[in-house]
Structure 1
């Protein structure tokens, strides 16, 4: 690679990174205000040519990653301190020795639930769980997962490090976040499975509990 090619690559990288400042809030707002439509959008965009996909938003996995980055940055800005996993030097936690590695670990944690929800949908549709079939529902789930991760991180920060009034706000925000996320999942299963409310609620509950349980067990390996 010559010098001009290097400059061109840096130019493209700079533009891509700076464009996140515009498209992250746009994607977040659309996800919060129209979650089901954004999940359908994530699915439909995968049918376009790669260079035409997600032209006016962030791709779902990138949105989830940036939401976790924003949540992590908010925690650092408000004096969250060194994370116990980073501070620990025992077991698998010894490999997580920086905030960058911690961010990647959180990305894995928050990707497990979307993966379980996507697999549950394919099972409910009686379709084989293959890499090709799993990708669209997983991408769709990354949008609400990103908004959920950001709201969850903010509420937990308020509950642990804020004054009494902030802790109440954080607790209320946590309840609303969990209820909203569960409601979106029920509506998603009901729309795609074309089943009643009770069946959709069952699928959503089992997938969420299974995914969160797996995430907790996985997280315990680093404590």
Structure 2
């Protein structure tokens, strides 16, 4: 009986993994074309039964993980010329992907917190989850532009890489401004300032976490 349950679990896992091939690209395209409705969709789906959530998409946190895995794979295929190997724990691909997942989650986390604070909503695990899931969706194109732009910039094309990263930032802030002001509780100007401030704070957090981790594993040397 236990063996049959194990087979059933493996069957369900395999089916879930295979369906990502179809639904992950569809999810990214939907977010690119209709970012704000997709954020609202991400929040609304959490009110459904667990088995019915995100039936025609990939769930936001999983989509973010898949994105980070794909850009990591792309970096491995096109290695930086003369780059030194990453020492310590992050030399392992799984550890590096996990680190990036935590680091880039700073963006959806901070933007979700700002959204709650602007509306005077008490910050709890339950109140934060819908906003975090919504922000994970809109982070997908931003993470793609940021990481691929950085990869291009460090491989001999700094102008093109920085332009791609800049485009990612502009798109991200524009979407955040619309999202923050869509219910009329926050004006467009304040929403834009909040989006810019939170995005810059998240970027600073990403840099700080990367620097601290790099120092801890010996990538960054103290002069």
TM normalised by structure 2 equals 0.89
1:120 maps to what in 2? 114
**2:71 counterpart residue number:** 71
Tell me how large the CA RMSD over aligned residues is. 2.0
Which whole-Å deviations, capped at 9, do the CAs of 1:44-91 have from their partners, x for residues lacking one? 00010111000000000000000111111111111248986x622xxx
Equivalent residue for 2:220? none
What is the aligned residue count?
A: 214
Q: Is the 8 A contact 2:80 2:154 kept in 1?
A: no
1:85-104 matches, within 5 Å, as 87-88=86-87, 94-104=88-98
Q: Distance in 2 between matches of 1:177 and 1:213?
A: 16
Query: Which residue of structure 2 aligns with residue 141 of structure 1?
Result: 135
Q: Distance in 2 between matches of 1:214 and 1:78?
A: 27
Bigger drift between 42-51 and 207-216 goes to 207-216
Give the corresponding residue for 2:5.
Answer: 5
Does the Cα contact within 8 Å between 1:38 and 1:143 map onto a contact in 2? yes
Q: Give the SS at the match of 1:161.
A: coil
2: CA distance, partners of 1:152 / 1:77: 18
Distance in 1 (alpha carbons) for counterparts of 2:97 and 2:23:
21
Matches of 2:144 and 2:135, distance apart in 1: 14
**TM-score under structure 1 length normalisation:** 0.89
Contact 1:148–1:177, Cα closer than 8 Å, also in 2: yes
Task: For 2:125 and 2:189, locate their aligned partners in 1 and report how far apart those are by CA, in whole Å.
Answer: 29
Report the counterpart of residue 197 of structure 1 in structure 2. 188
Instruction: Give yes or no for contact 2:107–2:199 (8 Å, CA) kept in 1.
Output: yes
Distance 1:113 1:193, change over 3 A: farther
Deviates more, 1:187-196 or 1:116-125: 187-196
**Number of the residue aligned with 1:48:** 48
Match of 1:105 among 99, 107, 121: 99
Q: 1:21 to 1:123 in 2, by over 3 A?
A: same
Q: Is the 8 A contact 2:43 2:134 kept in 1?
A: yes
Q: Which has the higher contact order (CA 8 A, sep 6+)?
A: 1
Aligned to 1:207: 198
The whole-number CA distance in structure 2 between the counterparts of 1:24 and 1:192 is 29
List gaps (5 residues or longer) in structure 1: 89-93
